[in-house]
Amino acid sequence: MEFISSFREAILNLLSAKLRSFLAILGVLVGTGSVVALISSSQLATAHALSQFKSLGTNLLSLYIRDDSFGKKSDQTKKFVLSDVPALQAVSTEIKLVAPYTINFQPMFFNAVNLEAQQIIGATDTFAVIAKTVIDQGRLVSMLDKRSFYCVIGSKVAKKIKSAGANPLYNQILVGKNLFTIVGILKPWPENLFISADINSSIIVPIETSYLLGKDTKIENILIRLTENPNISTVSAAITKTMLTMLPAKKIVFNSPKQLIDLIAKQRQTYTMLLIAIGSISLVVGGIGVMNIMLVSVVERRREIGIRMAIGACQSDILRMFLIESVMLTIFGGALGVFFGILTSYVLAMFSHWEFYFYGMPIILGFGVSVLVGMLSGFYPAWRASQLDPIETLRS
């Protein structure tokens, strides 16, 4: 009962000095909100990045063929061609599918409407399997469409054509100086940093047709699907050896979702600790604000403290009274900080098109540290108050 009455009295004391209490709560609110928002947003961003890589599976390799000819013209060095695919696939029994693709950039128009898309992906049949593109209407382009001016359009390109009041399927679009017939429309494709192409804003054409769009067209990107639980290091070494034999003037750059996921997981721990440190600075500042305000409160309430001690209150009672008040300030500030921190991370997730999750760690950490800061920052003013001489305080 004694503690309940102490809490009730602490609340009444805080309400009697509303502005002072508000300023103390505001400092803790900002500190706690910073911790919760920073850590939650970091975890949401990490989860979004991991989901992108995991969506295609972790048994993938992405190859980028970079020119490393040191001064020689690129057209004088050997290029990777479709006839090299069987040799690449035979490198290891762990290789299931190989999908080379080209990327071109040309303006696209539909009945004089600028489609605001310029990326043309020249792909083989296996590209759709590895990239997991799904047809909404029509069909995919295939190896049977060699050198035909057929294309499959991404969801954003289709949306632009539909906004012009037309059904995209089997209509024609002007790509550069060539007319392409739309034979398929893709469903929205989840963006993936692993593939160096924005499929939603692109059109996909047969890879042989892509060579007709420009003399500089060449295969610089290859997707490889491996068996389950592959030895990526061994496969990468074998591929590098074979590719450098075929293309001695090129440099092969590898990317693997599994390696990237492992790297992100390691970096997340480092970033989390860094963000905790940054947010803690705000909490410490808020704690200093609570200490200052409680010290002012002790000076203003010297007469009250003297009266309490004169009628029987002991030093521990005064210590507890001021300590409870400082903890109450940080509890209110911490609770509001958690709310606004979660709200901030939710708004960020909404605008960034991330999936929102509740994470317990930043909430517990932010609120727990704010209460701890309240106890530490309130102890010195409470101790100062308990050490006052009642005779001197009443005389002053």
Query: pLDDT digits over 81-105, tens only?
Result: 888 999 898 988 899 999 999 999 9
In this prediction, residues 27-44 reach a mean pLDDT of 84
Check residue 248 and give its pLDDT: 82
If asked whether residues 43 and 141 sit together in one domain, one would say no
Is residue 68 domain-resident? Answer: no
59 within a domain of the structure (yes/no): no
Domain boundary among 248, 274, 294: 248
Residues 242, 133 share a domain: yes
Clarify whether residues 141 and 173 are in a common domain. Answer: yes
- If asked whether residues 169 and 297 sit together in one domain, one would say no
Distance, in Å, from the CA atom of 366 to the CA atom of 334, rounded to the nearest integer, reads 7
> 115 and 13 in one domain?
no
Within this chain, do residues 218 and 90 fall inside the same structural domain, yes or no?
A: yes
**258-292 per-position pLDDT tens digit:** 777 777 777 777 777 777 777 777 778 778 888 88
Are residue 161 and residue 202 in the same domain, yes or no? yes
**Chain-wide mean pLDDT for the chain?**
83
62 lies in some domain: no
* Domain final position from 248, 270, 298: 248
Do residues 235 and 334 both lie within one domain? no
For the chain, how many structural domains are there in total?
A: 2
**36, part of any domain:** yes
Regarding whether 214 and 140 lie in a shared domain, the answer is yes
Same domain for 368 and 325: yes
pLDDT of res. 55: 66
For 43-78, write each residue's pLDDT tens digit. Answer: 888 787 777 666 667 788 888 888 765 555 555 568
Cα–Cα distance measured from residue 47 to residue 42, given in angstroms and rounded to the nearest whole number? 9
**At 105, is the secondary structure helix, strand, or coil?**
strand
**To the nearest 10°, the Cα dihedral for 48, 38, 373, 335?**
-70
Whether residue 257 is contained in a domain is answered as: no
Task: Answer whether residue 91 is part of any domain.
Answer: yes
Q: In this structure, is residue 73 part of a structural domain?
A: no
pTM exceeds cut of 0.75: no
**Residue 291 sits in the same domain as residue 386:** yes
Specify whether 271 is located in the same domain as 131: no
> Which of 248, 283, 317 is at the close of a domain?
248
The Cα–Cα gap between 203 and 181 comes to 11
What is the extent of the structural domain holding 306? 1-54+262-395
The burial of 134, by beta-carbon neighbours within 10 Å (0-12 exposed, 13-18 middle, 19 or more buried), is given as exposed
CA distances from 214 to 123, 124, 208, 378, 379 (A): 15, 18, 12, 73, 75
Q: Is 61 inside a domain boundary?
A: no
